[in-house]
Structure 1
Amino acid sequence: MKVLLSRRETVKLLILAELMRNPECNQRDIARKLSITPQAVSEHFKELVSEELINVVHKGYYVVTEKGKEWLNRNLFDLHMFTEDLISKIYSSSVLALAREDIEEGDTVEYWFEDGFVYVRKSETGNGVATGDAEEGEEVLVKPTGAFTPPQKGEVVIFKVPMVERGGSKAADVEQLEKLIMGKRRHVVVAMGLEALVTCRKAGVEPIFFGAKNVCIEASHHGSGVIAVVTESVMEDLVRTLIEEGISFDIVDGSKQKD
């Protein structure tokens, strides 16, 4: 497992993976994505070129060679086998879930991911066995006996709010936001930008404000839907991160329609 034992090899894999996912990215983009200095990235790129894993397209832009693809494929396969073995060992022990109904120890149950949480209910053809009693809404440990489908990334709906120079929350369509939230009651609501926070409060919702972008990303990765109320001045940063994380999103214009 050389790629996990050497920081240099790990960075090499991440750079090649990013070039495969996004051929239009340059050194500066990758430095920002990996949180390392442009100088350090430049040194890594020199090594990759010398090892014939990438070729220069034009200044600052590169393409992965066939040799690079083979290197990436080999190491990703090793990682896949490692993680498959680790995950099977983790889930062969027990899973903590929220009971959708009263559960008794020894019940055959079905457990699944929904809205960012693992839930469990009784089922004759389930994929686990309850190891304790739980009333509806309580937590319970489940011993897996069958396959478990990992969560799909949750949808993100971006509700764009005008900057204060263009009216801010006064120019936002609060009624439209209320309807959006009512129609997606189980979605996490976050706000980015003061205008967005005020708009949420006008809609009768106290959103997650501090650390909102990180919450948005983490919630989606755990399968929870997210409504991100975002001031237009900071929307580009969120959109860029969502694209980098492979999370799909829709943008809703939250401005009041002019008569």
Structure 2
Amino acid sequence: MDDERAVAPRVLDNKRDASKYRVLVEIAARQPAVSQGEIADVLGVTSQAVSDYVRELVDRGYVEKRGRGRYEVTKEGVDWLITRTDALSEFVSRVSEDVLGSVDVDAAIAADPISEGDAVRLTMRDGVLHAIGDRRGGGAPAGTDAPTESDAPTESDAPATAVAVTDGAAGEAVGVTEFEGVVEYDPGVVTVIPVPVVTEGEPPSVDVVTDRVDESGFVAIAGTEAYALATRAGIRPEIRFGTVDAVPQAALRGLDVLLLVSSDELSRHTTQLRESGVRYEVHDPVGDSA
């Protein structure tokens, strides 16, 4: 294991080894007809430098010269590439998991005043990650609500936790890291109301829409006809653009969404909802208003 771990720094720290590795990769990709000038352009070095690297690779038995401008990577060269590539892959994986993973910072809304270093519990509210400080010690800070039973963690809840890396008053964004557990919440349901395009008939009654707004609370509109219906109903939608992607994302974050969509846009939206694994219900506006 120690020998394998030592290989990656040797390729990364030694510029000549790193360049030789890249040249061998380019030869393997282009063989048997190899243009040293093209390799030089790709690597950003001179043709003379590439020629020197190729000569060294031939001398080491990693590359065999077949004629003018014709080269092939030998079995020894392939083995050398595989060894270095595997070591680099392990090195990158170790950096990603052990180094970058440990410093990954996300943002959350402080549910109450939070100080750097505080242990917090994470929950999803209105589709946004919230951080709840541990207020069980000395009671709730001034100006905040007292903790409730729903806030208190239980063994069965196995709440998601993190550590705050910035200070924040209630309602402010704070940085959190060292995540443990899973933030559990129920995905939302999308209620879809198709609105006929102007060439297909009259729009549904505004009552069909207003009766459902309170049930969902979060409204999205797609298409001019849907916009006109929402305007007549006095509805201010949360999403007006990019609804094909935005509506599934909102539902996956736990929001129930009412989607008013012009009929010519319906299939694109329902297809994306299905592919995203989002529950949705399509309501016939004519049937609902009858």
- Once the 2 structures are TM-superposed, how far is the Cα of residue 138 of structure 1 from its aligned partner? 0.7
The alignment covers a number of residue pairs equal to 171
Encode CA deviations 1:10-32: one digit per residue, 9 max, x unaligned.
xxxxxxxxxxxxxxxxxxxxxxx
Would the aligned equivalents of 2:245 and 2:272 in 1 still touch at CA under 8 Å? no
- Once the 2 structures are TM-superposed, how far is the Cα of residue 145 of structure 1 from its aligned partner? 5.2
Q: Find out whether 1:216 has 2:247 as its counterpart.
A: yes
Would the aligned equivalents of 1:112 and 1:120 in 2 still touch at CA under 8 Å? yes
Question: Could you tell me which amino acid in structure 1 is paired with residue 225 of structure 2?
Answer: E
Encode CA deviations 1:116-153: one digit per residue, 9 max, x unaligned.
32111123556123223212211001233531336654
* TM-score, normalised by the number of residues in structure 2: 0.50
Q: Find out whether 1:140 has 2:151 as its counterpart.
A: no
Question: Could you tell me which amino acid in structure 2 is paired with residue 193 of structure 1?
Answer: G
SS at match of 1:133: coil
Q: Percent identity?
A: 24
* TM-score, normalised by the number of residues in structure 1: 0.55
- Once the 2 structures are TM-superposed, how far is the Cα of residue 193 of structure 1 from its aligned partner? 2.1
Question: Could you tell me which amino acid in structure 2 is paired with residue 218 of structure 1?
Answer: Q
Alpha carbons of structure 1 residues 162 and 91: separation in structure 2 relative to 1, 3 Å = farther
Query: Hey, what does 1:154 align to over in structure 2?
Result: 188
Query: Hey, what does 1:108 align to over in structure 2?
Result: 119
- Once the 2 structures are TM-superposed, how far is the Cα of residue 158 of structure 1 from its aligned partner? 0.6
Would the aligned equivalents of 2:166 and 2:174 in 1 still touch at CA under 8 Å? yes
Encode CA deviations 1:157-184: one digit per residue, 9 max, x unaligned.
1122233245443xx2312322322232
Query: Hey, what does 2:230 align to over in structure 1?
Result: 200
Alpha carbons of structure 1 residues 117 and 91: separation in structure 2 relative to 1, 3 Å = farther
Alpha carbons of structure 1 residues 138 and 177: separation in structure 2 relative to 1, 3 Å = same
Give the whole-Å Cα distance in 2 for the aligned partners of 1:237 and 1:204. 26
Question: Could you tell me which amino acid in structure 2 is paired with residue 242 of structure 1?
Answer: L
Q: Find out whether 1:95 has 2:125 as its counterpart.
A: no
Encode CA deviations 1:76-96: one digit per residue, 9 max, x unaligned.
xxxxxx8xx859954763331
List gaps (5 residues or longer) in structure 1. 1-81
Would the aligned equivalents of 2:165 and 2:175 in 1 still touch at CA under 8 Å? yes
List gaps (5 residues or longer) in structure 2. 1-92, 137-152, 154-158
